Amino acid sequence: MLRKSMREFVDKEIKGEYARDLDDDLSKMFIDESMWQKIKDLGIFAASVPEEYGGLGGSIIDDVIISEEFARGSTAVAMSFGATTGFGARSILFGGTEEQKRLYLPQIAEGEIKFAMAVTEPAGGTDLLGAITTTARPEGDHFIVSGQKIYITNAHMADYILTLVRTDETTRKKSKSLTLFLMPVKDNPGVKIVPMKKFTIKGASACEVFFDNAKVPAENMVGELHNGWYVLLKTLNHERIIVAALTNGIGQAALEDMVAYAKKREAFGRPIGQYQSIQHKIADTAMELELAKLITYKAAWLLEAGKPCHMEAVMAKVFSSEMAFKAGTRGLDIFAGYGVTLECDMQRYFRDSRQCTFSPISNEMARNFIAEQFGLPKSY
Q: Are 342 and 24 in contact (CB under 8 A)?
A: yes
Q: Are 346 and 339 in contact (CB under 8 A)?
A: yes
Classify burial at 379, counting beta carbons within 10 Å of its beta carbon; exposed 0-12, middle 13-18, buried 19 or more.
exposed
Instruction: Report the predicted TM-score, pTM, of the whole model to 2 decimal places.
Output: 0.96
189 vs 191: CA distance, rounded Å: 6
Domains of the chain from N-terminus onward: 2-113 (1.10.540.10), 117-226 (2.40.110.10), 230-372 (1.20.140.10)
27 vs 272: CA distance, rounded Å: 38
Q: Which of 121, 126, 122, 201 is nearest to 163 (CA)?
A: 121
The letter for the amino acid at 295 is I
Q: Are 56 and 46 in contact (CB under 8 A)?
A: yes
The letter for the amino acid at 286 is A
191 vs 156: CA distance, rounded Å: 10
Beta bridge partners, 143, equal: 138, 216
pLDDT tens across the length of the chain (380 residues): 899 999 999 999 999 999 999 999 888 889 999 999 999 999 999 999 999 999 999 999 999 999 999 999 999 999 999 999 999 999 999 999 999 999 999 999 999 999 999 999 998 878 888 889 999 999 999 999 999 999 999 999 999 999 999 999 898 888 899 999 999 999 999 999 999 999 999 999 999 999 999 999 999 999 999 999 999 999 999 999 999 999 999 999 999 999 999 999 999 999 999 999 999 999 999 999 999 999 999 999 999 999 999 999 999 999 999 999 999 999 999 999 999 999 999 999 999 999 999 999 999 999 999 999 999 998 88
If phi over 0 gives left and psi between -120 and 50 gives alpha, with beta otherwise, what is residue 378?
A: beta
Beta bridge partners, 179, equal: 165
